[in-house]
Amino acid sequence: MNEVKRIFELDVLRGVAVILMMLFHFGYDLALFEYTSYETTQDVEWIVFRGLILSMFLLAVGMSSYLAYKNHINYDKLIKTLVKLTLVSLVISIGSYQVFEHSWIYFGVIHFITVALILSLFFVKTPNLSLVFAFLLLGSYWLGYHPFDNLFNYSVHEWNIPVFTVDLVSLSPWFALVLLGIFVMHKNMFGFRIDENKSMKKIAYLGQHSLVIYLVHQPILFGIFYMINVVR
């Protein structure tokens, strides 16, 4: 089975999301170390900014899943991907526990993507159904019906996990973005072309290595701010 060809525009989308993510975390660290007075978890503009970044990443997850698995599921490659994502999720959980003992990350972006990738396999061969489920999920969320949240809250209570966490991505409504990504790629709605000039290639490079960048950039930023705070 041939490898799935990379789509340059999809890498650019991830790359832009990576850049915005690093800007968001830079702003988050500024607030955390009290260089500013805004609240990234409460101020509307920061909440919207985070939602935009998350939406870009999750749309890319859905589009990539459709491209990779619409015709054939390479289970060896899938398992390797899931193992890698699971290990990264564990590193994030353990690392965040060392820094934020009472608000550590137990179901952040990478945890979510790991689960969402598995769930997406049930929809890649039925993209029209994927669109229907996306709207059902969004509609039920807007109407105040959050079945996944209720189950999640029950688990948090039973396992004595902190109610507040510095990064939480719930299945409702965010899995709808993955489902929309499947439909978008199926209908070739992401079929525009971007000129592969030097600047765009650099952004695409970031997108191709988004997982590594996600894992290392915040510890680097946090470490820099911490050292500045120590010597200040």
Distance in angstroms (rounded) separating the CA atoms of residues 121 and 119: 5
pLDDT score at 48:
97
Average pLDDT of span 12-22: 97
| Beta strand segments in 88-228, E | none
Lowest mean pLDDT among 13-17, 145-149, 222-226: 145-149
Q: Give the predicted TM-score (pTM) of the model.
A: 0.91
What radius of gyration do the chain's Cα atoms show?
18
> What SS3 state is found at 125?
coil
Average pLDDT of span 110-119: 96
Beta-carbon count within 10 A of 136 CB = 12
CA-based max dimension of the chain:
57
Average pLDDT of span 163-181: 90
